Amino acid sequence: MLNKNAKLNPKLFDADLAERPTRDGYGEGLVAAGEADPNVVVLCADLTESTRSEAFAKRFPDRFFEVGVAEQNLATIASGLGVSGKIPFISSYATFSPGRNWEQIRTTISYNDSNVKVAGAHAGVSVGPDGATHQAIEDVATMRVMANMKVIVPCDATEAKKATMASAKMWGPVYLRFGRAAMPEFTTEATPFRVGKAEVFWESNGGQGKSKKPQVAIIGCGSLVHYALRAAKELEEEGIGTMVLNNHTIKPLDEDTILAAAETCGAVVTVEEHQVSGGLGGAVAEFLARTMPTPIEFIGMQGVFGESGEPKELISKYGMDVPDIKEAVKRVLKRKK
């Protein structure tokens, strides 16, 4: 059942649940952060409307910088601002930033612990018709290995706004990942959000006639957390109890909450719109391998590139839909036994 402390939208499972892209929350968060702190500045690489930096540019034109199609310059300019008392956010498609300018982010931002926030928009296969070249599915892996870098993947537009505002208030490099497609907006302003803290959104008993503890922990990030919740609801109706964690912060990982979930359930499924190598699944597996080896299954892109198509069709094609999560839960349960 839903965790009451999560304070999710009561229309969570309704067909008419509102949908918005997480990039919308980023745009709103930028304006709110700019209003709260005059040191917040925004830079963009010729994608102001698409990355939702436009609202900040209109509200604070003297604090917005259009760099043009020059992602390496975007990062390098921001690094100087970040060590000069400003709080720069740099915005582009994730395939270009951090994709094209990874070395500049590493050397000028992370190495110098510059106070820069990197916003990678249009991430995952849900970019849809733009196709494989614009579908960043490796970005979390490349950013989480970088020293000093924090990595946050909000689950919906409301949480994206919170993550953007929180990033402005903390020191150091941060990577924020956003999507293009409209996805369910199921958290609320009252839903807890703290960088580095995973939240339990769902916790059922072990199913009919079974232990009172959930049997599998589903650990997700991004818009697929909603898919995980839908899978958990259907599994509970089939007599299989689960726990669903919204693990928005990939780095630093909330090791205490993940360890507690693994100890309670004895089996884990990770869910992400990203390559299963090096992302959330990799982070969770690395941690559990050294603390509490646990049967684990990985939902995500299985070492392939995406293609053009409608967002939800691609999520289904590449094995990240509700039925796929349910099958992964059942597979890991067999291994657990």
How many H-runs (helices) and E-runs (strands) does the chain carry?
A: 11, 14
Interior angle at CA 311, CA 198 and CA 33, nearest 5: 50
Task: Point out the catalytic residue in the list 28, 71, 272, 273.
Answer: 71
**Rounded CA separation 39/324 (Å):** 45
Whether omega for the bond prior to residue 252 falls within 30 degrees of 0, making it cis, is yes
Q: Which of 238, 219, 203, 216 is nearest to 334 (CA)?
A: 216
**Rounded CA separation 69/51 (Å):** 14
- Would you say 216 and 333 are in contact if contact means Cβ atoms under 8 Å apart? yes
Helix (H, G, I), strand (E, B) or coil at 161: helix
End-to-end CA separation in angstroms for the chain: 24
**Rounded CA separation 35/13 (Å):** 34
Residue with tokens 């907006």: 185
Alpha helices by DSSP H, 37-94: 54-59, 71-82
DSSP 112: T
Residues 6+ positions from 176 with CB-CB distance below 8 Å: 26, 117, 118, 119, 120, 152, 154, 160, 163, 164, 167
Active site residue 71: yes
Inter-helix orientation angle 224-237/322-336, to 10°: 60
Write out the catalytic residue numbers: 71
